[in-house]
Amino acid sequence: MTDIGNIALWIALLIGSWGSAVAFAAGRSRRADLALSAERSMFVMWGLLVLASAALMQALLAHDFSIEYVAAYTSRNLPVFYTWSAFYAGQKGSLLFWAVVLATFSAAAVLMNRGRYRELMPHVTGVLLVTITFFVAVMVFASNPFEKLGFLPQDGRGLNPQLQNPGMVIHPPMLYLGYIGIAVPFAFAVAALLSGKLDTGWLQAIRRWTIASWLFLSVGVILGMWWAYVELGWGGYWAWDPVENASLMPWLTMTAFLHSVMIQEKRGMLKKWNLGLIIGSFLLSIFGTFITRSGVIASVHSFAQSNVGWFFLGFLVLAGVASFALLAYRWPALAAEARLESMVSREAAFLFNNLIFIVITFSVFWGTLFPVLSEWVRGTKVTVGPPFFNQVNIPLGLLLLFLTGVGPLIAWRQASTANLRRQFLWPVAGMLVAGALLAALRMSDAWAIAAFALAVFVTVTVAQEFVRGTLARHRQYGEAWPLAVVRLVGRNRRRYGGYVVHLGMVMLFVGFAGMAFKSDTEVTLRPGQTTEVRSPYGHVYRFMHQGISQYEQLNRFVSAASLDVYRDGKYLGVMKSEKRQHMDSMGQPTFEPSTEVAIRSDVREDLYIIFAGSVEGTEEAVYRITINPLVWWVWYGGMVLALGGLISMWPTGRAPTPVKRRADLAGYVARVDA
């Protein structure tokens, strides 16, 4: 079966090369037979990559340790649940995962647009096939998941314990889906540039793809934060690690695009900018892959260093040069169809919002690469860690939060003074009251006060939009309040879905601001001994150490330290943190012992307890007790954000959207011109 997988990759390489060539030839010559051949190549590629994936999965489940990848990432006693996730836990498997998901997305995009966008589709197919073929080539020439060992080990090395977590089963696929999903909008953008079909047709085709890939990326990033929080045990969820930054950057540019594309749809402006954002997002997703796999920048998340990084760097440079050269070539044809009529308009607000998104992206990019730059320029290594990123990005993030509230309040084209007064009165009043209240309560952190006050500002803007819309429906159609809300959202899914996303962002910022009040305490406790810790809210937590129990469980030996927890004298329950020593199937320890955190979360604060170890092999335990305020808001904010994204992308089946109307109009004008 593994030989079949290997052969499938080689055939995929040949088919992909053929398909890419005929796709671009079809786009240039407009020959239908070549276009059909390219489409078929796409479907065959998909079939071959599914076959290769099935072969690798079979080898993983059958413990075929003659394959280097299987021996490196699984063992006989690894639970099946995690054996599945070993598919993408290592470099070679994750490359195959990328390729098969990209092939699936690409085949779906070709299938869904059959008979439509005839001038674009051959180029779209070509770009997607080139990208898939690149991944297949990397596997075949540099990182083959079917590479065999020269001997047959009795057991595999097993999966890193930190990857044996439910979050790690879902988080990487989600992130990959987000990264990979960007390839489809990128392919349509490049196809529009290649074909010269620069009307809004390509925007219409990618609308749902962009929201879907943004949604996957959002969920992937937040799940990654959750995994880091519950598994890594350092008491936080975002460390500004280069790999974390790599996932954030395309998310920022995609979010900017989702805003600026509205201006192109409604006003025919920012065409060059939007094309640039899509190209940039795709390049940043490849850049993230380069960072993770090249070892050029130190990161806790990196795969083992190998030469695949240079393949990605080459692809990144080629794709960047080709895409931006095309954009430059079509520059004159991308003139705006309308002009900005006022600085006080939604268009202007979106422009500033885009600017802040891009500046934050730049600051993250700059901070991530600065150590490399410093070494080049000065020959001195420096570290760019959380203190730098927080210092630079907190003010920019708050500015963005402010614009999140401002954008929806201002009318398109030009806002009148009366309009501004009507829209801003309550949000600004809410912001000022919240800020004054927090200052009066002597909140110590100025940035946190600003974040909470702006959170109130944005929340009031969203609430105001919902209240006014519902009131209007209630008055006009006599609908009951709940029905009016449902229909209001249902009839304007993109707009109100966007507002829900904004609410999610507010919740995330509230959670981020809460970390300003984090506290850590280390204690040593004998069984029966207690300690007290005061939370930022003034609650007094009392912890009583029960003792340490040891037992075997699945593929590990567990040492569990338990604490009875009381808040203000009231018993809350038992919290148990563990040290896990994973074993192989012969009972020998593998990897270093890992820590399982005990977390008790509520809307106000998280109790986060780590069992550091025992003193001299006794039941006397060392704990780190961390109180993390408002972390709950991050996870639920993420859910609200995802819900908003789903509402926005849900099909309406109603009247044509503004972009469709513009596309139709463009077609009509073209016919008249002809």
Partner 1 sequence: MWRVSMRSALAVLAATLALASIALAQQAPDTGQGRLAAPRMAGRGQAPVTARDNDSTVKAIERQLRCTCGCNLDVFTCRTTDFTCATSPAMHRVVVARLDSGMTAAQVIAAFQQQYGEVVLMSPPKHGFNWAAYLMPFVGLFIGLGIVGAVMRGWFRVRPRQPLEGGAPAEAGAAPTASDDEMQRLQRELERFEA
**Which of positions 385-404 make contact with partner 1 (CB under 8 A)?**
385-388, 391-392, 396
CA 313 to CA 214: how far, in whole Å?
A: 24
Residue 18 near partner 1 by CB under 8 A? no
Pick out residues in 544-563 that bind partner 1 (CB under 8 A). 547-548, 550, 557, 559
Of these, 349, 523, 598, 627, which contacts partner 1 (CB under 8 A)? Answer: 523
The footprint of partner 1 on residues 484-503 (CB under 8 A) is 491-492, 495
Residue from 18, 366, 636, 650 binding partner 1 (CB under 8 A):
366
Cβ proximity to partner 1: between 3 and 552 the closer is 552
Q: Which is nearer to partner 1, 41 or 345 (CB)?
A: 345
Tell me which of 152, 304, 333, 343 binds partner 1, using CB under 8 A.
343
Q: Which stretch binds partner 1 (CB under 8 A): 166-174, 217-225, 311-319, 378-386?
A: 378-386
- Residue 530 binds partner 1 (CB under 8 A): no
Q: How far is the CB of 132 from partner 1 (least distance, A)?
A: 33
Give the whole-angstrom CA distance, residue 183 versus residue 106.
8
The CA distance from 180 to 424, in Å, is 40
- Gap between the Cα atoms of 46 and 29, Å rounded: 26
In whole angstroms, give the CA distance from residue 267 to residue 335: 12
The only residue of 151, 154, 332, 377 in contact with partner 1, by rule CB under 8 A: 377
Is position 355 an interface residue for partner 1 (rule: CB under 8 A)? yes
Contact indicator for 466, 496 with CB cutoff of 8 Å = yes
Q: Helix or strand or coil: residue 566?
A: strand
d(C-alpha 314, C-alpha 309), whole Å:
9
Q: Name which of residues 572 to 611 contact partner 1 (CB under 8 A).
A: 579, 581, 589, 592-593, 595, 610
Closest CA to 199 of 333, 94, 295, 76: 333
Q: Which residue number, 140 or 396, has a Cβ lying nearer to partner 1?
A: 396
10 Å Cβ neighbour count for 633? 22
Q: Which of 616, 651, 653, 673 binds partner 1 (CB under 8 A)?
A: 616
Does position 528 bind partner 1 by CB under 8 A? yes
Considering only residues 231 to 260 of the shown chain, the ones binding partner 1 according to CB under 8 A are 232-235, 239, 241
Which ranges constitute the DSSP H helices of 331-416?
A: 346-377, 386-406
Rounded distance, CA 106 to CA 49, Å? 12
292 binds partner 1 (CB under 8 A): no
Q: Which is nearer to partner 1, 119 or 620 (CB)?
A: 620
3 state DSSP class of 651: coil
- For residue 277, the number of C-alpha atoms closer than 13 Å in the C-beta half-sphere is 26
Is 668 a residue that touches partner 1 (CB under 8 A)? no
Q: In 10 A of CB 574, how many CB atoms?
A: 12
Query: What is the CB neighbour count within 10 angstroms for residue 28?
Result: 14
Looking at residues 63 to 122 of the shown chain, list those that interact with partner 1 (rule: CB under 8 A). Answer: none
Rounded Cα distance, 182 and 174, in Å: 13
Residues 6+ apart with CB under 8 A from 372: 296, 297
Site for partner 1 in 426-455 (CB under 8 A): none
> Looking at beta carbons only, is 358 or 483 nearer to partner 1?
358
Q: Which of 14, 36, 112, 300 binds partner 1 (CB under 8 A)?
A: 300
Considering the complex, what minimum distance in angstroms separates the CB of residue 189 from partner 1?
Answer: 21
SS3 assignment, position 67: strand
- Tell me: does residue 33 bind partner 1 (CB under 8 A): no
Residue with token string 């408002």: 630
| Interface region with partner 1, contact rule CB under 8 A, candidates 20-28, 32-40, 228-236, 567-575 | 228-236
- Which has the closest alpha carbon to 629: 567, 537, 566? 537
Closest distance of CB 83 from partner 1, Å = 24
* 628 three-class SS: strand
**Which C-beta is closer to partner 1: that of 72 or that of 488?**
488
- The total number of residues written for the chain in this structure: 674
Angle between helices 201-227 and 183-195 (to 10 degrees): 160
Of the pair 592, 673, the CB lying nearest partner 1 is at: 592
Q: Does 352 bind partner 1 (CB under 8 A)?
A: yes
With contacts defined by CB under 8 A, how many residues of the chain interact with partner 1?
A: 81
Q: Does 624 bind partner 1 (CB under 8 A)?
A: yes
Q: How far is the CB of 381 from partner 1 (least distance, A)?
A: 4
**Measured from the CB of residue 385, what is the shortest distance to partner 1 in angstroms?**
4
Strand, helix or coil for residue 594? strand
Which residue number, 6 or 204, has a Cβ lying nearer to partner 1?
204
Minimum CB distance to partner 1, residue 239 (Å): 7
Minimal distance, residue 76 CB to partner 1, in Å: 20
Tell me how far apart the alpha carbons of residues 366 and 347 are, in angstroms, rounded to a whole number. 28
- Two tokens, residue 80: 């099946």
User: 239 or 283, CB closer to partner 1?
Assistant: 239
Cα–Cα dist 31/470, whole Å? 53
**Cβ of residue 164: shortest distance to partner 1, in angstroms?**
17
- Beta carbons within 8 Å of 347's beta carbon, 6+ residues apart: 263, 267, 269, 340, 412, 413
* 47, two tokens: 């079939």
Q: Is 266 in the site for partner 1 (CB under 8 A)?
A: yes
- Which of 7, 612, 646, 666 binds partner 1 (CB under 8 A)? It is 612
